[in-house]
Chain A
Amino acid sequence: MRVDRRDFLKSLGIVGGALVVGCNTSAPEEKLHAYLSAPKAVVPGVAATYATVCRACPAGCGLWVKTREGKPIKLEGNPDHPLNQGKLCARGQAFVQSLYSPRRVQTPMVRVAGELRPASWNQALERAAEILGETRCAVVSGLEQGGYARLLQDAAAHLGGPHLCFEPLAPRPLAAACRLLFDRDEVPVFSLAQADQVLSLGADFLDTWLSPLQHAREWAEGHQAEQRALFVTYLGPRRHLTANMADDFHPLAADQCGPVLAALLRAVVARQKPTLTAALQEALTQILDKAPAPPRGLSDARLEQITDRLLSARAPLVMWGGPEVYGRDATTVATMVLLLNHLLGAFDKTVFLGRGHAWSKAAAHATVYSALHQAAHEPQQAVLLLGTDPLFSLPGGAALGAALQKAGRCIALAWEHNHSTAVAEVVLPAHHPLESWGDYEVERGLVGLLQPVRVPLYDSRHPGDILLDLTTRLGHPRRLPSSKDYVIEAWQHRCNDLAPNAWEDALSAGLCHVPAPTSTIVPLKPNRLHLLPPLYAASGQGVDLLVAATTLLYDGRGAGAEWLMETPDSLTQCAWEIPAELSQDLALTLNVSDGDVVTLTSPHAEVQGRVLVARGACPNTLALRLGGEHPALPEEVLAPNPMRLIGPVFDPLSGALVWVQGRIGMARSAKSTLASVMGSPHSEGRNLCLSMSASDFAKGRFPRMDMHGEVLPDAAGNYPDKRYAQMPVEEIALEGQRPANNMTPLTEHPEQRWGMVVDLDRCIGCAACVTACYAENNIPVVGRAEVLRGRELSWMRIEQHITADVRQGQVRFLPIMCQQCGQAPCETVCPVFAAYHTPDGLNAQVYNRCVGTRYCSNNCPYKVRRFNWFDYPRPEPGNQQLNPDVTVRPRGVMEKCTFCVHRIREARNRAAFEGRPLRDGEIQPACVQTCPTGALRFGNFKDLDAEATQWSQNPRGYRVLDYLLNTRPGVVYLRKVYADSQEGQG
């Protein structure tokens, strides 16, 4: 109780503080522009939403920042942004946590006698200027494109060094290949929008590759069961989410992408010889002759299949990329990919050049590495790190770090402490992107605008302004007074809009979009192909080490956000765990099982990691996820940083890092347990996560659950048991009456019966919904120890099911949140009515009334209720993110999902206030709102025209365990429709 009250007082304090601050700062001399209808000034209790850009990864999706009392509390996708169209991934959801990170740099710091000591801005800047004065300094920032980037370039020019955009996952080989083939140093834009056949070689396009949200959205559109236009084939060393969702999936060694492409090319060439120019043919032969053939681990029949699919495709698309496959021969392979796409006529259908994709600006790893190396070893060289942490993301970071610290010519502008700030001579606190002006041009003509959405938490400054300050101190006149002016200048230049308050409108919209010039087919210049090195085949002893980027941790920066660590990875079902994924054959030979600790040795380092046996991984591979050894991680998370295991080896042609460096040694060292949230993935013949074959779907033979389990209709389309469970709509028709399988009349819902439809066919397991739920509902983060005890508090979970019909190590995902049962077993057992059924069909949980008997949780068949075992700490400044609309639950009460009831109530009040009925789609729970593939739909089942209601009547629909328990859930699941082509394989 006490703590409850304290929290309440705190939140009061926050509000009050906000008001005080709010007056003088959150409407500063430069006005912030709220989105359309939002109030101009901060009104307590009313959320103001601002548009900006997500900088959690280089994709540059549009953001809406929901602020209360001048504090950002929740990030949503910007519906008007063409890239993400209102959706947001888990990383985007968690981006707000980096604003409130406990590791924020709070004051300028200067190294004195080897120790970083707080200093005044002036001292720090003086020291920095001093360093810069006597050196040539490279400016290393994250990926930037636009006005701010221009500022950085100018500054770099003044400082006498280059401006490098460092992105660990930069697809340099593709850019290099483009240069070779088309004489353009750019990364083409890949789009699944029109594609009908997609072959992905390693590329995890649904969740980490280039522009995941966009790809995911396009995939969902093309792949939806009702009108399926898209077929995805995946070949690659790792079963990541994309592989898991692929219609046809086959594990393939990293170094076999080249040979496979070669084989495909050969096949294509064989078909198209007549149409090809002599030069091209000549070039092709040059490449293909260097290619070893045939590929290992892929049967000719399978290859045949794939080739046919590609050749018969209307708009094929071949994608390749990702750290798992970037090898010594990356450029060669990339070239082959582009060639194949070219020959398949994919250009301008699914592959676009000349869009000026931001990724093109990403610097080569080699360049960045050498910049750092010089700063470390050459007295005239310095480096200025701007927000990025190359020491964490580059091989040999540790050595570089030590040298840099010794050299003392490293200046770090950062908002969070990281490996680089640790070695810097001067550390200057920079604004968090949510605190700063800026812009980000995803591709030519699509400019996203950043605006500060809160008063800076600490004594930080805009990095751009800091640079301007420094250059001024060095005696270079400012071209423009501040970084904001650079942004405006760039905006004017790009979207020269002369309307009176165009700028304000642009800010409100968060972007300006000038349709990009549609590229014409760029002539292919085959004359330089002979420069390409031959394909490289891995050799030697040991295990293939695959460095992996994952949904939640991306290039490792995700590990900085608690939510992303607490959210279990859908594939590993582990929280607070970055396991070493071991292929099954290796697990057998090493005799290790999940949780065992193994020692990994490479020429460069020896590290330890917890094993997770990865079903469906390519034999003899060990995948290590980026994110290990992130400074934010607590001790007990035994996670190695894969970059330590590989050396600074770069592809000479593209300057890209060679990620696949071959073999490492491995030894079993100790027993331990994985912090898994999953009991058993095997469904044990329990019909929980259901699916059906595409052929059944085509024939309209929809299975239905009845008392005897899953039954198919007979020829006449009838089902044997009359007593099958009703679906929501039939049920609503029966309200007030007693259906055949009920002993009592059904409860009546006067106006609404809120419900959700979950399309298992669309769910890719990206866990954005789970993270969104954490963000929206003030769900405490419990940490690894508690997860091990089975005490995680997530209201929603993405379950992993291995059902009878899955193959090749794929798994099915089943998002489970409170089912809002019409006849909830949990309600009736509660002695105090803390759990009850609201008139609008929700399964309400009254926290104040809850005594904590935990009977409801016992009796909940879906096990979606969560108990507060302790009072969970919410340290400053993280508590500023708490959503004031949602109670912070005290120790000893049960909590659970209620379809974001506060949003429902708010919308209902608004509607009542405006004297109108609720509109369909007006209310969106956090999970539904953010789901990138639109797998979740929410609405009022009593409104037959509502989108959700329509979907709930889909014949694929079923309600989990309803046939057995008569719970009449408010959540309808639509079966996954799996491709028949998988039948009989694996």
Chain B
Amino acid sequence: MKHAQLFADVLAMRDKVHSPRDKSVSLALGLCGAIGLLLAFAGGSPGAGWLALLVATTMTIGVAAVGVVFAAIFHITAARWGRPFQRFAEAGVALMPLGLICLLALVLGGHAWLPWLQVDHLTGGKHAWLVRGFWDVRVLLTLVCTYALSLTFVYYAWRRDFCLGEVRAAFTGRLGAWLGRGITDAEREMARCTRRLDVLAPAVIIVYALAFSFLAFDLIMALEPDWYSTLFGAWYFISHLFVGLAAIVLITTVLWRRLSLERFVSMPRQRDLATLLFAFCLVHMDFFWSQFLTIWYAHLPEFTFYLIDRTLDPALPYHHLTWPALAAFFFIPFGTLLFRRVKSSRLLLSAVAIIAISGVLLARFIEAAPALLTLDSPSVTGLFLPLAATALVALGVIGVAIPLYQRLLTSIPLMPLSDEVFLATQTHEEHP
């Protein structure tokens, strides 16, 4: 009775995912990306190419993985409000192939950009750790394993939906067919999927944390082989959780009107999502601060030189970027998300999300650039090209991402129809 209607609405969403302008938009963005790469590699600023690629890669692999992590978090915590966003989060997996390709490119081109290849005095474990072959295999394997696990999780999450006849009937695409294959006893199959999810959810989170810590050490921290920080891994994966969440916010807000999400998500729930973003903004800053304060205070050259290069050495241009980055990934989101008005307005919310994402992007840039770029002048103009290139490449990634997303979103039900918690929210969801 009530459910039938709900199912109908959910299934109907599929056709609204696309809109005529999407193709051109993604094309345009893709073009930006291409130009970016061209600019980066041929723009005459040595290192800029790899820099742009590295930054774009970190963001991509991050967003791709984080979606599932949030799905897992929603699954573990009985958080009812998160359910409607579940699928949009999981859809992050659409970026996985892209992320893998970028990383592969980085690995293949390693000899051209890995700074520690030039360093002769690698101390301590770095002798054994920063070795080309080992590094390549490590980085790739780490990511592949993480993704494999995430995909397994997503598989069971979606398969559970496909246990429902209506869903199977509605989605007959290749993915749909595969997800729905060989289902005889729907009830038992659903139960099985749920059990699997219960086991997989924590695994996904744990593996993500570990894997991305080490990716952080290998991809970013090792760029300065003399520098190390125990918090770096955690800071990195937190900042990608932050970005991932911002991405989810962005996607949902963008698709809101099209998919008329208000049908499933009440205003308070939307605010909850925004509040979560606010919370992550704080946690993110907390990790940044913990790392910064410790280094600033104890003032040991071993650690400070890293901050000096990036935040206050007048002989380098990077200190110009410090405050913009801080503003983008903390002050602006914090200052705005404090207010209910912002949380309630989808437009403002998406704007904040974009700012936050670009803030973290800038942070990654600042972390990586000094090790990769060779600049002749301390003037900020020298940074223009690398920055522009990085931004363009990032846009390019989005350009590529859009169709992938849409492809995925059209081939699964956008609400977890098999999830009792979700259904419960839909039955007595107090209406605004």
* Residues of B contacting A963 in the complex (Cβ-Cβ under 8 angstroms): 301
* Residues of A contacting B308 in the complex (Cβ-Cβ under 8 angstroms): 740-743
Contact of B301 among A720, A741, A825, A828 (CB under 8 A): A741
User: Closest B-chain residue to A825, C-beta based?
Assistant: B298
Contact A966 B312 (CB under 8 A): no
Q: Is A823 an interface residue (CB 8 A)?
A: yes
Q: Is B185 an interface residue (CB 8 A)?
A: no
Query: How many angstroms from the CA of A219 to the CA of B226 in the assembled complex?
Result: 45
Q: Which residues of B (100-151) have their CB < 8 Å from a CB of A?
A: 121, 123
Contact A965 B300 (CB under 8 A): yes
Q: Is B321 an interface residue (CB 8 A)?
A: no
Contact A964 B299 (CB under 8 A): no
Contact B121 A964 (CB under 8 A): no
Contact B307 A707 (CB under 8 A): no
Contact B123 A964 (CB under 8 A): no
* Residues of A contacting B121 in the complex (Cβ-Cβ under 8 angstroms): 708, 720
Q: Which residues of A (713-751) have their CB < 8 Å from a CB of B?
A: 720, 723, 725, 738, 740-744
* Residues of B contacting A741 in the complex (Cβ-Cβ under 8 angstroms): 301, 304-305, 308
* Residues of B contacting A744 in the complex (Cβ-Cβ under 8 angstroms): 299
Contact of A964 among B296, B297, B301, B307 (CB under 8 A): B301
Contact B300 A743 (CB under 8 A): no
Given contacts A707-B226, A708-B123, contact A966 B300 (CB under 8 A): yes
* Residues of A contacting B226 in the complex (Cβ-Cβ under 8 angstroms): 707-708
Query: How many angstroms from the CA of A740 to the CA of B305 in the assembled complex?
Result: 8
Question: Most chain-B CB neighbours within 10 Å: which of A720, A743, A744, A825?
Answer: A743
* Interface of chain A: mostly helix, strand, loop or mixed: loop
* Residues of A contacting B297 in the complex (Cβ-Cβ under 8 angstroms): 828
* Residues of B contacting A738 in the complex (Cβ-Cβ under 8 angstroms): 312
Contact of B302 among A720, A828, A964 (CB under 8 A): A964
Contact B305 A723 (CB under 8 A): yes
Distance of B227 from chain A, by nearest CB (Å):
10
Distance of B370 from chain A, by nearest CB (Å):
14
Contact of B296 among A708, A740, A743, A825 (CB under 8 A): A743
* Residues of B contacting A707 in the complex (Cβ-Cβ under 8 angstroms): 226, 301-302, 305
* Residues of A contacting B301 in the complex (Cβ-Cβ under 8 angstroms): 707, 723, 725, 741, 963-964, 966
User: Closest B-chain residue to A724, C-beta based?
Assistant: B301
Given contacts A707-B226, A743-B299, contact A966 B304 (CB under 8 A): yes
* Residues of B contacting A966 in the complex (Cβ-Cβ under 8 angstroms): 299-301, 304
Contact A743 B302 (CB under 8 A): no
Q: Which residues of B (286-315) have their CB < 8 Å from a CB of A?
A: 296-302, 304-305, 307-308, 312-313
Chain B 225-245, CB-CB to A under 8 Å as 1, else 0, gives 010000000000000000000
* Residues of B contacting A708 in the complex (Cβ-Cβ under 8 angstroms): 121, 123, 226
Question: Most chain-A CB neighbours within 10 Å: which of B226, B299, B300?
Answer: B299
User: Closest B-chain residue to A709, C-beta based?
Assistant: B123
Chain B 206-228, CB-CB to A under 8 Å as 1, else 0, gives 00000000000000000000100
Query: How many angstroms from the CA of A965 to the CA of B226 in the assembled complex?
Result: 15
Given contacts A707-B226, A823-B299, A966-B299, contact A743 B304 (CB under 8 A): yes
Query: How many angstroms from the CA of A828 to the CA of B226 in the assembled complex?
Result: 27
Question: Most chain-B CB neighbours within 10 Å: which of A707, A744, A964?
Answer: A707
| Chain A contact residue count (CB 8 A cutoff) | 18
* Residues of B contacting A720 in the complex (Cβ-Cβ under 8 angstroms): 121
Query: How many angstroms from the CA of A823 to the CA of B301 in the assembled complex?
Result: 12
Query: How many angstroms from the CA of A723 to the CA of B309 in the assembled complex?
Result: 12
Chain A 943-974, CB-CB to B under 8 Å as 1, else 0, gives 00000000000000000000111100000000
Contact of B312 among A723, A743, A825, A828 (CB under 8 A): A743
Query: How many angstroms from the CA of A188 to the CA of B141 in the assembled complex?
Result: 83
Q: Which residues of B (255-299) have their CB < 8 Å from a CB of A?
A: 296-299
* Residues of A contacting B307 in the complex (Cβ-Cβ under 8 angstroms): 743
Q: Which residues of A (434-487) have their CB < 8 Å from a CB of B?
A: none
Query: How many angstroms from the CA of A741 to the CA of B303 in the assembled complex?
Result: 10
* Residues of A contacting B300 in the complex (Cβ-Cβ under 8 angstroms): 964-966
User: Closest A-chain residue to B315, C-beta based?
Assistant: A740
Distance of B362 from chain A, by nearest CB (Å):
21
Query: How many angstroms from the CA of A738 to the CA of B299 in the assembled complex?
Result: 13
Distance of B316 from chain A, by nearest CB (Å):
11
Query: How many angstroms from the CA of A740 to the CA of B302 in the assembled complex?
Result: 12
Query: How many angstroms from the CA of A823 to the CA of B299 in the assembled complex?
Result: 9
* Residues of B contacting A742 in the complex (Cβ-Cβ under 8 angstroms): 299, 304, 308
* Residues of A contacting B299 in the complex (Cβ-Cβ under 8 angstroms): 742-744, 823, 966
Distance of A969 from chain B, by nearest CB (Å):
14
Query: How many angstroms from the CA of A725 to the CA of B301 in the assembled complex?
Result: 9
Distance of A721 from chain B, by nearest CB (Å):
9
Distance of B314 from chain A, by nearest CB (Å):
9
Distance of A725 from chain B, by nearest CB (Å):
8
Query: How many angstroms from the CA of A738 to the CA of B314 in the assembled complex?
Result: 11
Query: How many angstroms from the CA of A707 to the CA of B305 in the assembled complex?
Result: 11
Q: Which residues of A (807-825) have their CB < 8 Å from a CB of B?
A: 823, 825
Distance of A714 from chain B, by nearest CB (Å):
13
User: Closest B-chain residue to A720, C-beta based?
Assistant: B121
Distance of B300 from chain A, by nearest CB (Å):
6
Query: How many angstroms from the CA of A248 to the CA of B313 in the assembled complex?
Result: 51
Question: Most chain-B CB neighbours within 10 Å: which of A738, A963, A966?
Answer: A966
Distance of B118 from chain A, by nearest CB (Å):
13
Query: How many angstroms from the CA of A744 to the CA of B311 in the assembled complex?
Result: 12
Query: How many angstroms from the CA of A528 to the CA of B10 in the assembled complex?
Result: 126
Query: How many angstroms from the CA of A720 to the CA of B313 in the assembled complex?
Result: 20
Q: Which residues of B (69-120) have their CB < 8 Å from a CB of A?
A: none
Query: How many angstroms from the CA of A825 to the CA of B297 in the assembled complex?
Result: 10
* Residues of A contacting B302 in the complex (Cβ-Cβ under 8 angstroms): 707, 964
User: Closest B-chain residue to A823, C-beta based?
Assistant: B299
User: Closest A-chain residue to B304, C-beta based?
Assistant: A743
Distance of A150 from chain B, by nearest CB (Å):
68
Query: How many angstroms from the CA of A828 to the CA of B296 in the assembled complex?
Result: 13
* Residues of B contacting A823 in the complex (Cβ-Cβ under 8 angstroms): 299
Distance of B310 from chain A, by nearest CB (Å):
12
Chain B 367-404, CB-CB to A under 8 Å as 1, else 0, gives 00000000000000000000000000000000000000
User: Closest A-chain residue to B121, C-beta based?
Assistant: A708
Query: How many angstroms from the CA of A67 to the CA of B189 in the assembled complex?
Result: 99
Distance of A545 from chain B, by nearest CB (Å):
49
* Residues of B contacting A740 in the complex (Cβ-Cβ under 8 angstroms): 308, 313
Chain A 572-593, CB-CB to B under 8 Å as 1, else 0, gives 0000000000000000000000
User: Closest A-chain residue to B299, C-beta based?
Assistant: A966
* Residues of A contacting B313 in the complex (Cβ-Cβ under 8 angstroms): 740
User: Closest A-chain residue to B311, C-beta based?
Assistant: A743
Query: How many angstroms from the CA of A725 to the CA of B300 in the assembled complex?
Result: 11
Query: How many angstroms from the CA of A963 to the CA of B299 in the assembled complex?
Result: 12
* Residues of B contacting A743 in the complex (Cβ-Cβ under 8 angstroms): 296, 299, 304, 307-308, 312
Distance of A514 from chain B, by nearest CB (Å):
60
Query: How many angstroms from the CA of A741 to the CA of B301 in the assembled complex?
Result: 6
Question: Most chain-A CB neighbours within 10 Å: which of B297, B298, B300, B301?
Answer: B301
Query: How many angstroms from the CA of A828 to the CA of B293 in the assembled complex?
Result: 14
User: Closest A-chain residue to B226, C-beta based?
Assistant: A707
Query: How many angstroms from the CA of A708 to the CA of B121 in the assembled complex?
Result: 8
Query: How many angstroms from the CA of A742 to the CA of B307 in the assembled complex?
Result: 10
Query: How many angstroms from the CA of A742 to the CA of B313 in the assembled complex?
Result: 10
User: Closest B-chain residue to A725, C-beta based?
Assistant: B301
What are the 6 closest A-B residue pairs judged by CB atoms, nearest first?
A741-B301, A966-B301, A708-B121, A743-B304, A966-B299, A965-B300
Report A's interface with B, CB cutoff 8 A: 707-708, 720, 723, 725, 738, 740-744, 823, 825, 828, 963-966
Given A707-B302, A723-B301: 18 more A-B contacts, CB < 8 Å? A707-B305, A708-B121, A738-B312, A740-B308, A740-B313, A741-B304, A741-B308, A742-B299, A742-B304, A743-B296, A743-B304, A743-B307, A743-B312, A825-B298, A828-B297, A964-B300, A964-B301, A964-B302
16 A/B residue pairs, CB under 8 Å, sorted by A: A707-B226, A707-B301, A707-B302, A708-B121, A720-B121, A725-B301, A741-B301, A742-B299, A742-B304, A823-B299, A964-B301, A964-B302, A966-B299, A966-B300, A966-B301, A966-B304
